[in-house]
Amino acid sequence: MLNKGILSLVAVGLFASSLSVGTVKAEGNENELMKKAIEGQVEKPLPKGLVDSKTFNQLEKEVQGSQSKSGKGYSKMSEGDYIFEVEYNNDFASADNSSYEKSTIGRLLPLYDVDFSKVVVPSDGFLLVAGTAFSYAIDLGFAAVQKDYVENSNLKYLGSEYEDGVEYRGYDVKKGTYYVGVYDRDNVDDIDNNTSDDMYAIATGFVDDVKPSKPTVYKVDNNDKVVTGKAEARSTVTVKNGSKVLGSAKATSKGTFSIKIAVQKAGTKLTITAKDSAGNVSSSASVTVVDVVAPSKPTVKKVDDNDKVVTGKAEANSTVTVKVGSKSLGSAKASSKGSYSVKIKAQKKGTTLSITAKDKAGNTSSKATTKVVKH
């Protein structure tokens, strides 16, 4: 979800007596490098759907509101509501800190001044930077860059929008620290028409739009009352049987989870997903409940010394085996209703038969016994 800090581009007054004004001239080289970095992020529209129109509209409304308040009393502004740039902030090492909750107000003085703010991105996602100037003397240029202008896939420029005096720049970012550099595009021929009344505002917002990785799930059997595994740290993990939720729990800081469920039948397919704090949901992992429960002991009908079949009841579709000692006399599959009939050779009176049932998962019942009686 979008951090609400992006909506706090502030009402800027023109009485800036408490704003730190830089007295150290920025190195021209830094100005040129920042200009090159901004020009390298060619103008192209932001992809649709990255940030909803409500967000842009609210930001635009606040900017227009700040413009209407210009000159009505800077002294009434609280430093607790926003960040004022503090010089010397003309390079990466001396960059000011920024906040998603507050916007930064600054000046571009003296000539060729460049201002840097540090932006900490908490996880992979989307970084939005918005900027505006409250003076025609400033042709505001800004961009998010990596330290020392390193270029790689950690920071990918996606495009920009310009609406009613506010420019927005969007970036696909990996977790890490980045910098927003600001400069005045109209610094030419060593002429600077900026005064202490000419100011800009920069705001940043972060959207965690990256769904967690698919959870890993450990074996679940038809005795288990918990589902365990690993998922994104502190994500909320949910177990379902079809559309029915069996249980949810929060993963630990190390990503382990344990979710209480009712015992499920063997063969049941469970689906497991993880949702992060921003509401992104992972693709689902699945696990099939394993049968580890042995069939019940079969029942056996009377067997006499003339009988050539052993009959009775066992677990439906299990395989029933009749033995004398360790010798197998015969096997047969029980019906879907559990009845069985196993062919054997006629046995002598007094012979002890043992009967077991094995299910398709390989679990074997305890044995039933019967003695052959005289016909």
Residue 6 has pLDDT above 50, yes or no: no
> pLDDT at position 266, please?
93
The larger pLDDT score, comparing residue 56 to residue 194, is at: 194
Please report, for residues 35, 51, 172, 200, 341, the alpha-carbon distance to residue 184 in angstroms, rounded to integers and kept in the order given: 9, 27, 25, 10, 93
Which has the closest alpha carbon to 3: 209, 274, 179, 181? 209
Of 104-108, 179-183, 187-191, 308-312, the least confident: 187-191
Which tokens go with 105? Answer: 């107000």
Q: Which CATH architecture has domain 299-371?
A: Sandwich (2.60)
pLDDT in tens, 281-331: 999 999 999 999 999 999 999 999 999 999 999 999 999 999 999 999 999
State the Cα–Cα distance between residues 369 and 353, nearest whole angstrom: 5
> pLDDT at position 54, please?
56
> pLDDT at position 207, please?
82
What is the CATH number assigned to the segment(s) 216-288? 2.60.40.10
> pLDDT at position 25, please?
40
> pLDDT at position 152, please?
95
- 8 Å CB contact between 133 and 36: no
> pLDDT at position 23, please?
36
State the Cα–Cα distance between residues 168 and 46, nearest whole angstrom: 9
Residue 66 has pLDDT above 70, yes or no: no
Of 113-122, 159-168, 310-319, the least confident: 159-168
Residue 56 has pLDDT above 70, yes or no: no
> pLDDT at position 32, please?
85
> pLDDT at position 52, please?
57
Which has the closest alpha carbon to 63: 254, 203, 261? 203
What is the CATH number assigned to the segment(s) 4-207? 2.60.120.380
pLDDT band at 238 (very low <50, low <70, confident <90, very high): very high
Average pLDDT of span 43-69: 60
Of 39-48, 58-67, 145-154, 184-193, the least confident: 58-67
Q: What are the residues facing 249 on neighbouring strands? A: 237
How does the average pLDDT of the chain come out, rounded? 85
> pLDDT at position 15, please?
27
pTM for this predicted structure: 0.66
Positive or negative, the Cα torsion across 154, 158, 159, 163? negative
> pLDDT at position 204, please?
87
> pLDDT at position 104, please?
86
- Alpha carbon dihedral 317, 319, 321, 326, in 10-degree steps, equals -150
Which has the closest alpha carbon to 367: 300, 303, 292? 300
Which has the closest alpha carbon to 128: 164, 103, 165? 103
pLDDT band at 51 (very low <50, low <70, confident <90, very high): low
- Residue span(s) of the chain under CATH 2.60.40.3110 come to 299-371
Which tokens go with 305? Answer: 């010394």
Positive or negative, the Cα torsion across 362, 365, 371, 372? negative
pLDDT in tens, 80-96: 667 888 989 999 999 99
> pLDDT at position 135, please?
84
- Residue span(s) of the chain under CATH 2.60.40.10 come to 216-288
Average pLDDT of span 336-341: 97
State the Cα–Cα distance between residues 127 and 144, nearest whole angstrom: 9
pLDDT band at 234 (very low <50, low <70, confident <90, very high): very high
3-state secondary structure at position 121: strand
